[in-house]
Amino acid sequence: MGKNSCKTYFIITGQFDPHKLTKALEIEPFKQHTSTNLRRDGKPFGFCSWCACLCQTYDPIVANQMEKTIEPLLGKEELLQMICQQGNCQLGLSVVPHVYVDEPSPCLAPSHKVMNFCLQTGTELDIDLYTYNSDDE
């Protein structure tokens, strides 16, 4: 088994009540915070964050992971647009690959299904790539 890994998830940031968002979307987040929650340095975040639909099952065709992430959100595009307008929110599809240089490189291109979802909802695709040498553990 290779050393590469990747996680994908959906994130909403802005000014909203995370509990109302969870209820409206009928999806449980794996992580959330409100604008008044404190950062490590003791200062408030100043914005709300809601993260859900986490996929950590690595697939070298990362579009497959992206599709698993957006699957629970399909059919909720209009609701997501409304949530964005009401809470001055940003939607994001986060892709976080960890790639070792001596391993086969993953394909990070989104599928048409993912691109259509992102266009319909105004979701930004964020790829945060981490690369490692073969001797890094």
**Amino acid at site 58:** Y
Task: Kindly state whether residue 51 falls inside one of the protein's structural domains.
Answer: yes
96 bridge partner residues: 7
Identify the band that residue 47 occupies on the pLDDT scale cut at 50, 70 and 90: confident
Please, what is the average pLDDT of the chain?
A: 91
Q: Is residue 55 in some structural domain?
A: yes
Examine residue 9 and state whether it is found in any structural domain, yes or no.
yes
Q: pLDDT tens digit string along 17-41?
A: 899 999 999 999 999 887 776 678 8
In a domain, 137, yes or no: no
What range does the domain containing 110 cover? 5-132
Judge contact between 73 and 117, C-beta under 8 A. Answer: yes
* Residue 97 falls inside a structural domain: yes
The reported pLDDT for the residue numbered 123 is 96
pLDDT in tens, 55-69: 999 999 999 999 999
> What confidence category does residue 11 fall into, taking pLDDT thresholds of 50, 70 and 90?
very high
Residue 128, pLDDT > 70, answer yes
Residue environment code for 55-93, b if the CB has 16+ CB neighbours within 10 A, otherwise e: beebbbebbbbbbbbbeebeebbeebeebbeebebebbb
Residue 30, CA distances (Å) to 7, 49, 59, 137 in order:
13, 11, 21, 26
The structural domain count of the chain equals: 1
CA distance 116 to 56: 22
pLDDT band with cut points at 50, 70 and 90 for residue 76:
very high
∠74-126-37 over CA atoms, to 5°?
A: 90
